[in-house]
A and B are shown apart, each in its own frame.
Chain A
């Protein structure tokens, strides 16, 4: 198998970033994120840390993005420019959970009638270099959510990690193109691929969507949501959460309309002009978020809206995370009638 020595990582990243913006897991103060290699110091490289604080979803679905510009003059109005980034990007070191999340976002943005132009442009321009996940962390539960931490799904190239080397396995045409670019840095080597230690954390989701259909009115939602502060951090760090707002920046005679991430945890999310709010209470919003991920997403797209990355376990200030919720929902007895 083609491979490169781990010690040559910066040379490989330099080569990739020479032509294409290359997002790499990097430390950024107390957090970590996938950041462009060229904009950061090599000492911030965080390849060995487990999941980054923020997911890589922002590469294909930016936190804020301009949709179009407008100009007004008296009663006249013009849409003067639309924005859809078409450049190419590389995502280096994406683990199976984050690649599974991309597959979920693809369902939302590319299927069911409409194709989201901006998302598609970014997604088409993205080459994903995945990596084996040999040692899932204490908060990881991807294999319970149907994700193989060593799987190749969603990767254009898969990196196989050994003690000294990264094996380089191109899987798609996009992956082959990168192989050509790195050819002189790759050497042919016999690699023994270690096995993943697997996730220590397990949840049981078998039959859960069906069970949840009868649990909309369960008092368990009051209990679970009691300590939720509706801070929304879970929705920002979640690699699958895709809700967005569309807002206007008005400079008087011109401006732009942009979209930005939004959170279903906020009271304004469903508040209609006139004051009606179908999910007025905290319980309602909490319930909708978890039912969306565990029941509605499954019904609509055939997969869970959670890839088991564990970020919400790390970040929720009250530990009201996916694992706690799934476990508690599993305990609840549902009246068969």
Chain B
């Protein structure tokens, strides 16, 4: 959290340019943004940015990768702003402000085995942490990624899931879809069920979960069944946000704000808060 300062109006964005757009699925695009000098500001894995298409609106997005010279936001088309974002082309200037929130506890997880559990677009924030681990591979133990989507067409970051990440040392990637499909010979199961089937060892392991709220709820239960303690489980939440700085009120869970105190919560902490997410 930054110190109390009035040096710059925290609600006013700066301008960045879209330098690359990658189609991940039929409804997910990964937008690479940068200023002429490179990244607009330093971002930690799991932090959030308010991105705006100025005449349309602003929305809070998790950073899906903080590269050296640009930031990436994988954005699914679900509403007014994201529909408009999906129409833009390389070169488009956007507003950006942030970074917001606590981010993943990347340092505290060093020395641990990492179990990433993602569903749908929920892989976007996890990817910032997963790639962070691969950049510093020796600092983390075994890495497992369990990722599920509704269908093959909904799987994002396919190249990384099927080629790049499995090639990393001591890394296992498990991908599943919800319903059988003709050209899919991989796993068909919901993420929580597949998780219980895989039964990863909780010993010295941290599980990081992100996906639709129902998947998170069920995956947290499955992890508990598998013997994961509450402080071994981390999730990242979303909520409707307007300010990003803990003032506009709407992303509260109990006395905490997702934008400021989250979006990353460990389960031990989350159990003290109302289940309103």
Contacts and interface: CB of A to CB of B under 8 A. Distances in A.
B172 to A, nearest CB: 30
A129 to B, nearest CB: 26
B182 interface: no
A206 B66 CA distance: 49
B248 A244 contact: yes
A216 B273 CA distance: 10
B249 interface: yes
A257 B8 CA distance: 17
A78 B15 CA distance: 7
Contacts of B256: 300
Interface size grouping (class) on chain B:
35 or more
A77 interface: yes
A113 B260 contact: yes
Interface string A259-276: 100101000011111101
A195 interface: no
Nearest to A70: B54
What is the predominant secondary structure among interface residues of chain A facing chain B? mixed
Contacts of B56: 248, 250
A285 B59 CA distance: 22
Interface residues of A, number: 56
Given A79-B14, A288-B252, A244 B55 contact: no
Interface string B1-21: 110111011111111000000
Nearest to B4: A115
Interface stretch (B32-40, B86-94, B125-133, B225-233): B86-94
A273 B59 contact: yes
A252 B93 CA distance: 16
A279 B275 CA distance: 10
A114 B4 contact: yes
B248 A246 contact: yes
Interface string A41-83: 0000000000000000000000000011010100111110010
A246 B4 contact: no
B9 A84 contact: yes
A113 B259 CA distance: 12
A113 B4 contact: yes
B274 A216 contact: yes
28 contacts: A67-B12, A77-B15, A77-B94, A77-B95, A79-B13, A79-B15, A112-B1, A112-B260, A115-B10, A116-B11, A117-B8, A117-B10, A118-B11, A244-B248, A246-B58, A248-B55, A252-B55, A257-B54, A259-B248, A262-B242, A269-B240, A269-B250, A272-B240, A278-B277, A279-B276, A284-B276, A291-B274, A292-B249
Interface of A: 67-68, 70, 72, 75-79, 82, 84, 108-118, 120, 216, 242-248, 250, 252, 255, 257, 259, 262, 264, 269-274, 276, 278-279, 284, 288, 291-292, 295-297, 299-300
